[in-house]
Amino acid sequence: MATKRDYYEVLGIQKGASDDEIKRAFRRKAKECHPDLHPDDPEAEARFKELNEANEVLSDPDKRARYDQFGFNDPMAGGNPFGGGNPFAGGNPFGGMGFEGDLGDILGQMFGGMGGMGARARRSNAPRRGADVMAELRLTFEEACLGCRKTVSFQRRKKCDACSGSGAKPGTQPVTCPTCKGAGQIRQNTGWTTIVQGCPTCGGSGKTIQDKCTSCAGRGMVLTRKTLDVDIPAGIDEDRELKIGGEGEPGTNGGPSGSLCIRFRVQNHPIFTRRRNNLYMELPVKFTQAAMGAEIDIVTLNGVKKVSIPEGTQPNTDFTLRGEGVVDLDTGRKGDLVYRVVVEIPRKLSDKQRDLLQQFDAISTDKDYRTRKSFLDKLKAMFTGG
Ligand SMILES: [Zn+2]
Ligand SMILES: [Zn+2]
């Protein structure tokens, strides 16, 4: 390299480019000139170094600001701000330059399965939390509203007793993986870069099993059915999930167990409908009760209660019993019970009933039927133009 090229030119971007544009440009160019992809091109290595240097400066806000101001002549850095000549003197351009992440991505995209620098390679011997397990419980309407204690039965994996979870036949031990010598990773030195990947033989655990445990087929885990008594809180519903920590599958390498997540199916109730914490019901009453007013027994979640409807109650009037609904799972507040009066009229009259109603009708006036009166008035107005 005779004269240094401008960093923006190297990346092929404008001076005001955003961080994102810089990142994208670097990735694109890195693919174009990565030396591993051009082993016969001696220029590739030089271009790649140049590219890395440009990226290192432009992707760091401080260094970029200084570069924008001073170019290659930053006084703060004694003439050469960017690494005293050749930052790649060690032969490994990535050493200590903080590129591993980005480059790992790039290599991952380029080489597929081979990708991933050391920092990215999955280490499966780290502690991991166990998986959650699901269970479903059927509840009656009252059980969901009032809470209950239920036995839930579910499947989960647990450590195999026969091999204590090692997966090796009892009496034998897993042996150090011959492929990775126990490291769980394989390093491939291509002369230029070191590529690290998870060991395909042992899956990263560093151990392999020669004689598999027959109880668990070498998996170290067996499926078991577990039953558990669970307190279901009052107010649960189908859109809520109950999580019980520690009852899921065991963690690995000392990680915590997962959770048991219980979902619910709640039966319909013959009388109540539930919307959130309120209960709704229809209350059929005799037309005489609606007319004269009455004390009526209704059901609530807490048993039978007497309510009164006043004289002259109209059909479909809603009444509310405060606090007779369902307790709110989060706030503990109780909802209401709303009952709607449904007025029932006899479908067939005896002679005596008809006689009495005719007598009743004879002494009734327009004032007794306000809604009807106003309807008739409107009708009259339509035809008289008033
Ligand atoms: Zn086993
Ligand atoms: Zn291995």
- DSSP per residue over 270-305, as a string? SS-EEETTEEEEEEEEEHHHHHH-EEEEEEETTEEE
pLDDT of 103 higher than 60: no
Distance 56 CA to ligand 2 centre (A): 35
Closest CA to 145 of 230, 228, 244, 240: 240
The C-alpha atoms of residue 171 and residue 215 are separated, in whole angstroms, by 14
Quick one: tokens of 383? 């035809």
Q: Compute the Cα dihedral for 41, 46, 50, 52 and give only its sign.
A: positive
pLDDT of 48 higher than 70: yes
- Please give the average per-residue pLDDT across 100-104, as a whole number: 40
Distance 198 CA to ligand 2 centre (A): 8
CA dist 308 to 252, 368, 373, Å? 63, 22, 28
Distance 153 CA to ligand 2 centre (A): 38
The C-alpha atoms of residue 29 and residue 12 are separated, in whole angstroms, by 9
The ligand with the least distance to the CA atom of 177 is 2
Cα first-last separation, the chain: 102
- According to DSSP, residue 192 is labeled S
Angle between helical axes of 42-58 and 61-70 (0-180°, round to 10): 100
The C-alpha atoms of residue 184 and residue 124 are separated, in whole angstroms, by 8
Share of the chain above pLDDT 70, in %: 83
Distance 63 CA to ligand 2 centre (A): 41
pLDDT of 234 higher than 60: yes
Q: Compute the Cα dihedral for 161, 164, 170, 176 and give only its sign.
A: positive
The ligand with the least distance to the CA atom of 163 is 1
Share of the chain above pLDDT 90, in %: 46
Between β-strands 133-139 and 259-266, what pairing exists: parallel, antiparallel or unpaired? parallel
Distance 204 CA to ligand 2 centre (A): 6
For the beta carbon of residue 344, count every other beta carbon within 10 angstroms. 13
pLDDT of 347 higher than 50: yes
The ligand with the least distance to the CA atom of 197 is 2
Quick one: tokens of 125? 């011997």
pLDDT of 78 higher than 90: no
- Please give the average per-residue pLDDT across 29-47, as a whole number: 72
What dihedral angle (degrees, nearest 10) is formed by the CA atoms of 8, 9, 11, 14? 50
The more confidently predicted of residues 362 and 221 is 362
Contact status, residue 85 vs residue 6, Cβ threshold 8 Å: no
Distance 164 CA to ligand 1 centre (A): 7
- Please give the average per-residue pLDDT across 173-195, as a whole number: 83
Threshold 0.75, pTM exceeds: no
Distance 153 CA to ligand 1 centre (A): 23
Q: Residues near 347 by Cβ (< 8 Å), separated by ≥ 6? A: none
Distance 212 CA to ligand 1 centre (A): 8
The more confidently predicted of residues 380 and 48 is 380
Distance 172 CA to ligand 2 centre (A): 18
The kind and range of the H/E element at 129 are none
Q: Residues near 196 by Cβ (< 8 Å), separated by ≥ 6? A: 116, 117, 118, 120, 121, 185, 186, 187, 188
The C-alpha atoms of residue 220 and residue 233 are separated, in whole angstroms, by 36
Closest CA to 234 of 155, 335, 322: 335
Distance 257 CA to ligand 1 centre (A): 19
Bin 348: left if φ > 0, else alpha if -120 < ψ < 50, else beta: beta
The more confidently predicted of residues 382 and 118 is 382
The ligand with the least distance to the CA atom of 167 is 1
Distance 178 CA to ligand 2 centre (A): 6
Between β-strands 259-266 and 242-245, what pairing exists: parallel, antiparallel or unpaired? antiparallel
374 φ, ψ (degrees, to nearest 5): -70, -35
pLDDT class of 109 with cuts at 50, 70, 90? very low
Res 5: pLDDT: 84
Res 295: pLDDT: 96
The C-alpha atoms of residue 308 and residue 285 are separated, in whole angstroms, by 11
Helices (H), the chain: 7-11, 19-33, 42-58, 61-70, 100-111, 141-146, 287-292, 351-362, 370-384
Contact status, residue 147 vs residue 233, Cβ threshold 8 Å: yes
- According to DSSP, residue 73 is labeled -
Distance 184 CA to ligand 2 centre (A): 5
